[in-house]
Amino acid sequence: MDVVVEHFVGTCRTDSPDMLAEAMNERDARGLNEFTVSAGAEYPYMTVLVNRTSACVHYFPADGHPGYASSGHGGDVESFAAGSPGEMIQVDGDAIVSCEDAIEAVLEFQRLGGGMPRSLTWREL
């Protein structure tokens, strides 16, 4: 399935899992990025906030639905760029997963045609 990946460093459209994984590894000089991944339609879509090796993932299935957040390892609060490269937010460790797990979830989103990835544990917002 063709997906569109928008992030701080650029935008790409691909149906290749390898190119998708490559795009999801893009970072700014600080090791940060924010990704929005969609099938080209408004919904469903995912967002992935990345700080070096940590990520926070959200899945939004439909308009009006509050979405789901990744359920993570329960470690310390971490800072992520969100909205613009200069805006930083704090994310509780309960929502943080590894970047590898986040990328696998995005690849699964692609394989499922926009379906909710089952490779992560989710918490409804």
- The DSSP element (H or E) to which 87 belongs, if any, is strand 84-93
Instruction: Please list the pLDDT of the chain residue by residue as tens digits (125 residues).
Output: 899 999 998 999 999 999 999 999 999 999 999 999 999 899 999 999 999 999 999 999 999 999 999 998 788 899 999 988 889 999 999 999 999 999 999 999 999 999 999 999 999 99
- The pLDDT score that the predictor gives to residue 28 is 92
Asked whether the beta carbons of 14 and 20 are under 8 A apart, the reply is: yes
What is the CB neighbour count within 10 angstroms for residue 79? 14
- The pLDDT score that the predictor gives to residue 40 is 85
- The pLDDT score that the predictor gives to residue 73 is 76
User: Among residues 79, 82, 78, 58, which one has the least CA distance to residue 68?
Assistant: 58
Cα(54)–Cα(43) distance, integer angstroms = 25
- The pLDDT score that the predictor gives to residue 7 is 96
- The pLDDT score that the predictor gives to residue 114 is 96
Cα(24)–Cα(7) distance, integer angstroms = 9
- The pLDDT score that the predictor gives to residue 9 is 85
Cα(59)–Cα(46) distance, integer angstroms = 4
